[in-house]
Amino acid sequence: MSTFVDTVAPARFARYLAWANNDAALAHRLYARNVALAEAFYTPLHTLEIVLRNRVDDALSAQFTSNWFNDPAVVRHVPLQRKVQDAHRKLASLGTGLTRGHVVAELSLGFWTGMFNRHQHHLWQHLRPIFVGARGIHRRSVSGQLDDVRGLRNRIAHYEPIVQLNLLNAYQEIETLTQWLSPQAALWTATHSRFLAVCPPQMIIVNNQVDPALTAIL
């Protein structure tokens, strides 16, 4: 009979064993904590992504047209244009009766974060006002933080380890961006998120090993 490690793949589990200094029981707990942390990130990531895309869509619809994402003068960066085309193709395969709202929902987080990269700098004058809870922010800073969030989200979506990251900083970055976009949404996230109850108060992996101070609580 195959074991749990066989099921998830020994090569995948080996990283957790290495972090746990070959303590199998600790490695299993670490793996479980990784899954719990990934789950706990769902609420803040969910809120930020939805608020971000709605704020961007509202701003650009008001400035240009409701189908601004189809306009190469608005979406100038070719990789982002391809993401729009991919969304249209996928939705077309699902049949008729789909609205522009379906397109907005289908566009990936990579598209929405890409709207703040240097290739889209011409939009910053229209997008800066959506950050109603921030002062003195710059496009480059926003773009960098959004790229951090996208990288974390992609790791979670592909079931990659996140326990080795500074997760408290990542959570605070998500909180800050959400607060900038919508203080009300940030309050909702703070009320409903379980992240702080799941995440230890310090980094779990230090010098490529589980912090000894955390072995009892993992």
Q: Evaluate whether 210 touches 218 at the Cβ level (below 8 Å).
A: yes
pLDDT tens-digit map of 148-200: 999 999 999 999 999 999 999 999 999 999 999 999 999 999 999 999 999 99
The tens digit of pLDDT for each residue in 87-127 reads: 999 999 987 677 899 999 999 999 999 999 999 999 999 99
Residue spans of the domains in the chain: they are: 4-214
Reported pTM:
0.94
Distance of CA 70 to the CA centre of its chain: 24
Q: Are 176 and 27 in contact (CB under 8 A)?
A: no
Residues 162/213/33/179 CA torsion (nearest 10 deg): -60
Helix orientation angle between 42-63 and 183-192, rounded to the nearest 10 degrees: 160
End-to-end CA distance of the chain, in Å? 28
